Amino acid sequence: MIKNSIGLILLLVAWHSVASMDRIYMAAMEQSRWELTVDTPLRCEIQHNIPRFGTVSFYQDSGRDLKLKVDTLHRYKKDLKISFRSVTANWKGIQAETDIGALISSGTNTLVDVAAETARNAYFELQQGYQPSLFFTDEEDGFNRVAVILSTVYFREVEPDFGACLKRLHPFHFDDIKTTSVHFDFDEEFPREHEEDRAMQKILDYLKVDDSVTGLVISGHTDFKGSVCYNETLSARRAWYVYDYLVQSGIEPRRLLVKFYGESRPLKKGTDDRSRAANRRVSVTMVK
């Protein structure tokens, strides 16, 4: 207990803000750790445990920006105003504070999920040896003033591994390429050559890194020109062509489901050339 108290005293910062707090949550120097907890092509995450409070995580998903999440063991009131400020560690000569942003509590065990710019600023402050801190008033607990401090101790040790993980992230997020389409010229059953490989390669590359995708739905479509019966047959030929392309690229047939709709599901309602061109397509949708 004495050892933990000494570590906490050594790490207290910006006394004019922190010393007046009723509750201070911070990892003592000998307890402070930043650990790489997720290292995949789809997500990178480092986590910091704050005793008796919860965890803080910097994370980035493929095709997304860096974010910061603060999870707590407590359940604070929703819409609490939280001041997010970086304060100087006491071993630095000059005491200073930098405003990082204003946050609002979620009312769940995830206190806040911080957007990209604010998360990057907090990450930068830790890189520089400062300590991003959340200050708020717990109205449910006698209006106690609370400080939650992110320790900078051992942060730099995890940076190289986290940075390497970020460089290996897949360039696309699932939501961005969940459905990919290739288009066809009028009355053609073979797709436009310049976009076939480009569109399908996005899916093929993504499937290599996400084994939670259980299947692909291939949907054939046409524009409204021609008879309904002819267009249904044409949409089927287009869909089966893409099916063959994916099978030849190594996708197991059992993972593929083929559908065709003719002209019945236009992407655009217009009758102009541009709308018709958009409707002559095969869409491939990944399913989890």
Same domain, residue pair 149 and 229: no
In the prediction, which pLDDT does 151 show?
94
Asked if residues 265 and 240 have their Cβ atoms less than 8 Å apart, the reply is no
How many structural domains are present in the chain?
Answer: 2
Same domain, residue pair 146 and 259: no
Which residue range is the domain that position 102 belongs to? Answer: 2-168
User: How many Cα atoms within 13 Å fall on the side-chain side of residue 270?
Assistant: 8
In the prediction, which pLDDT does 103 show?
96
| CA 197/CA 250 separation, integer angstroms | 14
| CA 196/CA 192 separation, integer angstroms | 6
Phi and psi torsions of 186, nearest 5°: -55, 130
Tokens of 113: 């999920």
Same domain, residue pair 125 and 260: no
State the residue for tokens 């489901």: 257
**Chosen domain end from 120, 141, 168:** 168
CATH number of domain containing 275: 3.30.1330.60
DSSP 76: P
In the prediction, which pLDDT does 96 show?
65
Same domain, residue pair 187 and 158: no
In the prediction, which pLDDT does 8 show?
40
Same domain, residue pair 161 and 238: no
| CA 36/CA 28 separation, integer angstroms | 19
Same domain, residue pair 24 and 147: yes
The amino acid sitting at 136 is F
Residue 165 pairs in a beta bridge with: none
Same domain, residue pair 225 and 252: yes
C-alpha pair distances (Å), 97 with each of 85, 87, 153: 7, 5, 18
**Helices and strands, counts by H and E, the chain:** 8, 14
CATH number of domain containing 132: 2.60.40.2540
Same domain, residue pair 205 and 123: no
Q: How would DSSP label each residue in 244-264?
A: HHHHHTT--GGGEEEEE-TTS
Same domain, residue pair 124 and 198: no
Same domain, residue pair 200 and 143: no
Which contiguous run of DSSP H or E holds residue 126? helix 116-127
Same domain, residue pair 122 and 189: no
**Chosen domain end from 99, 133, 168:** 168
Residue 86 pairs in a beta bridge with: 98, 132
Per-residue pLDDT 10s for the chain (288 aa) are 443 443 343 344 444 456 567 899 999 988 999 999 999 999 999 999 999 999 999 999 999 999 999 999 998 999 999 999 998 865 555 566 789 999 999 999 999 999 999 999 999 999 999 999 999 998 776 678 999 999 999 999 999 999 999 999 999 999 999 999 999 999 999 998 888 889 999 999 999 999 999 999 999 999 999 999 999 999 999 999 999 999 999 999 999 999 999 999 999 998 899 999 999 999 999 999
In the prediction, which pLDDT does 12 show?
44
| CA 92/CA 94 separation, integer angstroms | 6
Which residue, among 30, 66, 23, 22, has the nearest Cα to 49 in the 3D structure?
Answer: 30
Which contiguous run of DSSP H or E holds residue 232? helix 228-248
Q: Terminal CA-to-CA distance of the chain, rounded, Å? A: 49
C-alpha pair distances (Å), 244 with each of 31, 34, 178, 203, 210: 57, 48, 20, 15, 22
**Chosen domain end from 168, 193, 215:** 168
Same domain, residue pair 145 and 178: no
